[in-house]
A and B are shown apart, each in its own frame.
Chain A
Amino acid sequence: MPDNEILMEMSGITKNFPGVLALDDVSVSLYKGEILGLLGENGAGKSTLIKILSGAYMLEKGKIIIKGKECKFLSPHESLAAGIRVIYQELTSFEPLTVLENIFAGEVVTNKAGFVSWKEMAAKSKKILSMLGSEINPSELMENLSVGQKQIVEIAKAIHGNAKIIVMDEPTSALDEKEVNTLYSVIRKLREQGVGVIYISHRMEEIFQITDRVAVLRDGKKVGDIKTHETNKFELVNLIVGRELSEQYPKRDIKKGKVIFEVKDLTYLNKVKNVSFNLREGEIVAFFGLLGAGTHQLFSVIFGDKKATSGEIYVDGRMINVTNPNIAKKSGLGYIPIDRKEEGLALVMDLKQNITSANIEEMGAGFILNKRTENEHATKWFNTLNIKAPSIDTLAGSLSGGNQQKVVVAKWLEKNSRILLMNEPTRGIDVGSKSEIYMIAEDLCEKGVGVLMVSSELPEILAISDRVIVMRDGEIVGEFVTKDTDQEELMHLASA
Chain B
Amino acid sequence: MNDQKRNDFLNAINPFNKNSMTPTLLIVYALMILIFSLINPLFISLANIKSIVANLTISGIMAVGLTTVILTGNFDISVGSILGVSAIVCAKLYNIGDTYIPLPVVILAGIAVGAAIGAINGFLVTVVGINSIITTLGTLAVFRGLAYLYGTETAQIYYKPYVFMGRGYVFKHVPLTLIYFIVILVLMYVVLRFTKFGRNVYQVGANLQAARLAGVSIKKTTFYTFIISGITAGIGGILLSSQLSFAQGVFGLGYEFKILAICVLGGISLAGGRGTLVGIIVATFILGSISNGLALSKVPIEWRDAFEGIILIIAIMVDSIRISRRALLRA
**Chain A interfacial positions (CB closer than 8 Å to B):** 303, 305, 324-326, 328-330, 335, 337, 341-349, 353, 357-358, 360-361, 363-364, 367-369, 371, 395, 397-398, 411
For the complex formed, measure the closest distance between the CB of A404 and the CB atoms of chain B, giving whole angstroms.
10
Cβ–Cβ contact A367 & B195, under 8 A: yes
Comparing B99-107, B137-145, B206-214, B286-294, the segment that makes contact with chain A is B206-214
**Chain A residues, CB < 8 A from B207:** 342-343, 345-347
Query: Complex Cα distance A330/B215, Å?
Result: 8
Cβ–Cβ contact A360 & B196, under 8 A: yes
A367-B195, A367-B196, A369-B195 known; A347+B326 contact, CB < 8 A: yes
Cβ–Cβ contact B214 & A358, under 8 A: yes
Tell me if B154 counts as interface (CB < 8 A to partner A). Answer: no
Cβ–Cβ contact B273 & A349, under 8 A: yes
Comparing B60-68, B77-85, B111-119, B197-205, the segment that makes contact with chain A is B197-205
**Chain A residues, CB < 8 A from B202:** 346, 349, 353
Cβ–Cβ contact B203 & A346, under 8 A: yes
Query: Complex Cα distance A53/B321, Å?
Result: 25
Query: Complex Cα distance A353/B203, Å?
Result: 9
**Chain B residues, CB < 8 A from A345:** 207, 210
Interface string of B295-331 (1 = CB under 8 A from A): 0000000000000000000000000000000100110
Query: Complex Cα distance A453/B265, Å?
Result: 46
**Chain B residues, CB < 8 A from A326:** 215-217
Greatest chain B CB density within 10 A among A328, A342, A343, A345 is at: A343
A368-B195, A395-B18 known; A357+B214 contact, CB < 8 A: yes
* 18 pairs, CB–CB < 8 Å, chain A vs chain B: A324-B212, A329-B214, A330-B215, A341-B330, A343-B207, A344-B210, A344-B213, A346-B206, A346-B210, A347-B206, A347-B330, A348-B329, A349-B202, A360-B199, A369-B194, A369-B195, A369-B199, A398-B329
Tell me if B258 counts as interface (CB < 8 A to partner A). Answer: no
**Chain B residues, CB < 8 A from A397:** 326, 329-330
Query: Complex Cα distance A343/B212, Å?
Result: 9
A369: contacting residue among B196, B210, B329, CB under 8 A: B196
**Chain B residues, CB < 8 A from A358:** 214-215
A348-B273, A395-B18 known; A357+B330 contact, CB < 8 A: no
For the complex formed, measure the closest distance between the CB of A63 and the CB atoms of chain B, giving whole angstroms.
25
A346-B273, A347-B329 known; A357+B212 contact, CB < 8 A: no
**Chain A residues, CB < 8 A from B203:** 346, 349, 353, 357, 360
Tell me if B274 counts as interface (CB < 8 A to partner A). Answer: yes
Cβ–Cβ contact B195 & A348, under 8 A: no
**Chain A residues, CB < 8 A from B200:** 360
Greatest chain B CB density within 10 A among A305, A324, A349, A411 is at: A349
A346-B207, A348-B273 known; A395+B329 contact, CB < 8 A: yes
For the complex formed, measure the closest distance between the CB of B175 and the CB atoms of chain A, giving whole angstroms.
32
- 7 interchain residue pairs of minimum CB distance: A397-B329, A346-B206, A329-B215, A358-B214, A326-B215, A346-B207, A357-B214
Cβ–Cβ contact B273 & A361, under 8 A: no
Find the B residue at minimum CB distance from A341.
Answer: B330
For the complex formed, measure the closest distance between the CB of A477 and the CB atoms of chain B, giving whole angstroms.
28
Query: Complex Cα distance A335/B203, Å?
Result: 17
Query: Complex Cα distance A345/B210, Å?
Result: 6
Cβ–Cβ contact A303 & B273, under 8 A: no
Find the A residue at minimum CB distance from B217.
Answer: A326
**Chain A residues, CB < 8 A from B211:** 346, 357
Cβ–Cβ contact B215 & A353, under 8 A: no
Cβ–Cβ contact A367 & B197, under 8 A: yes
Cβ–Cβ contact B213 & A360, under 8 A: no
**Chain B residues, CB < 8 A from A346:** 202-203, 206-207, 210-211, 273
Query: Complex Cα distance A290/B227, Å?
Result: 47
Cβ–Cβ contact A343 & B194, under 8 A: no
Find the B residue at minimum CB distance from A333.
Answer: B215
For the complex formed, measure the closest distance between the CB of A268 and the CB atoms of chain B, giving whole angstroms.
17
Cβ–Cβ contact B215 & A325, under 8 A: yes
Query: Complex Cα distance A369/B198, Å?
Result: 9
B206: contacting residue among A337, A349, A411, CB under 8 A: A349
**Chain A residues, CB < 8 A from B196:** 360-361, 363-364, 367-369
For the complex formed, measure the closest distance between the CB of B229 and the CB atoms of chain A, giving whole angstroms.
19
**Chain A residues, CB < 8 A from B274:** 348
Query: Complex Cα distance A397/B273, Å?
Result: 14
Greatest chain B CB density within 10 A among A303, A335, A353, A358 is at: A358
A303: contacting residue among B193, B209, B213, CB under 8 A: B213
Interface string of B248-289 (1 = CB under 8 A from A): 000000000000000000000000011000000000000000
Cβ–Cβ contact B199 & A328, under 8 A: no
Find the A residue at minimum CB distance from B269.
Answer: A348
**Chain B residues, CB < 8 A from A303:** 213
B212: contacting residue among A305, A395, A411, CB under 8 A: A305
Cβ–Cβ contact A325 & B213, under 8 A: yes
B214: contacting residue among A347, A395, A398, A411, CB under 8 A: A411
Query: Complex Cα distance A329/B214, Å?
Result: 8
For the complex formed, measure the closest distance between the CB of A54 and the CB atoms of chain B, giving whole angstroms.
12
**Chain B residues, CB < 8 A from A369:** 193-196, 198-199
Query: Complex Cα distance A286/B196, Å?
Result: 35
Query: Complex Cα distance A349/B209, Å?
Result: 14
Query: Complex Cα distance A432/B273, Å?
Result: 32
**Chain A residues, CB < 8 A from B195:** 367-369
**Chain A residues, CB < 8 A from B209:** 342-343
For the complex formed, measure the closest distance between the CB of B21 and the CB atoms of chain A, giving whole angstroms.
15
Apart from A346-B273, A371-B194, what are 12 other A-B pairs with CB-CB below 8 Å? A325-B212, A335-B213, A345-B210, A346-B203, A349-B273, A358-B215, A367-B195, A367-B196, A369-B193, A369-B195, A369-B199, A397-B330
